[in-house]
Each structure stands twice: as C-alpha cells, then as structure tokens.
Amino acid sequence: MNTIEHCEQLVIEVYKHFDASHDFQHIERVRKNALEILETVENADKEVVELAVLLHDVSDPKYAKDLTKSEQKRIIQLLKLPQSKVSHINEVIKSVSFNGGNEEVPKTIEAKIVRDADRLDAIGAVGIARTFAYGGAKGRKLYDVSETPRSNMTVEEYRSKDTASVTHFYEKLLLLSNGMMTEKGKALAEERHAFMELFLQNLREETGELI
C-alpha cells in the first residue's frame, strides 16, 4: 500500500462522521478537479496535491468536537512523511479555507491547485446541493429576505452566525470564481458561476422574493 492509499484509508473513517456536504464524495470530486488542473500546469508535486486534498477537511472546525485534537496532525504522523513534505502539505491546507474572506495567499502551485479544486466543488450544481445539505444538517432556513449579506467579516464573525443558505451564496459562493488561481480553474469556474446565477434568478421568480 502506497502513501496515497494509506492516507485514503485513514481519512475515509473521519469523513464518515461528517454530513453530506463534506463527506468522502466531496474529497473524491475535489481530487478529480485537482488532477484535471494538474494536467495543465508544470512542476507541481502530485503527491503533495493528492495528500492535501485528502486531508484538507479532516480538522475542519465546523465539525471538530474536540478542538485540542487534530486529525490532520495525527494522520500525517501515521504516514511517516519527510518533514519538508509535511510542512508543504500543511501550508497547502492552510491556504484552502475562505474564512469569510480572510484567506491565506497561496505560496506554491500546489496550494493554488488544491484551493481551486476545492472551490470548484463549492459552486455550480454540486455547490448548490452542498449548500442546502449543510444548511439542512444545521437546521438553517432556505432563505431569509430580512438578512443582509455581510462583508469584511472576521473569521469568528463568519463562523458564528447561522445565516440562511441563500445568504451564503452572497457571502461566499458568488465571490469564488473571481479568486481562482489557475487558468484551468478560472475556465471551469465560469460555467459553474453562471449556473448559480441562473438558479438564484429562478428562485426569485418562483418565490416572488427579492432574494
């Protein structure tokens, strides 16, 4: 069993405990996106990209019941990787999160690939499905016309308020396509962004609300 297979075996058990918006199918889709982007760039470390994809949500604070426990650190230790590779993987994962707009600037091509790949799965048809899956798991409203989408939030403000699912489109999802870091990511994001715009337009028409 190689390192990727070992990592996959370990993370599958973690993702079983998450809801459908962040399960292992999400990881498989992100890996597919990442491999597609990888084909269009040069000198990227494929192993770092795949390991970062597999690990990027295992310690997601949205699901962490024990904030002193790091599944990411635990699994990386079990993989027995060189310290240079561990540092690279951790740096890539740190660059992925949106954090209410308080995001890290990707420093390597691997970080750009993984961030684009993850964000592609947050938009388009799958992104819409994931948004409502997460909202349903958390008991959130579908939409709330009284809510004003926030900007210039701190990480704490972004994570602490249970906004309606549609509000999340305006606070995050509709912002992602403009922040793609790779040419392939930008091209793939364009159609997915347009689909979200169409969805919101249809939702406004069907509800008669200014959503």
Structural domain boundaries enclosing 102: 3-207
Helix (H) or strand (E) holding 37: helix 24-38
The stretch 35-54 carries a mean pLDDT of 97
**Rounded-to-10 torsion of CA 73, 78, 81, 83:** 40
The stretch 41-54 carries a mean pLDDT of 97
Question: Are the C-beta atoms of 165 and 131 separated by less than 8 Å?
Answer: yes
Whether 14 shows a pLDDT value over 70: the answer reads: yes
- CA-nearest of 170, 172, 188 to 180 is 188
Share of the chain above pLDDT 90, in %: 82
* Cα–Cα dist 168/178, whole Å: 16
The stretch 3-7 carries a mean pLDDT of 97
Q: pLDDT higher for 64 or 161?
A: 161
pLDDT for the residue numbered 69: 61
The helix, strand and coil proportions of the chain, stated in percent and rounded to the nearest 5, come to: 65, 0, 35
* Cα–Cα dist 185/113, whole Å: 8
- Which CATH number is 33's domain given? 1.10.3210.50
DSSP string, 173-192: GGGSGGG--SHHHHHHHHHH
Convert the pLDDT of each residue in 148-164 to its tens digit. Answer: 999 888 888 787 788 99
pLDDT for the residue numbered 122: 98
Whether 123 shows a pLDDT value over 60: the answer reads: yes
For the chain, the domain total comes to 1
The stretch 93-106 carries a mean pLDDT of 87
pLDDT for the residue numbered 67: 43
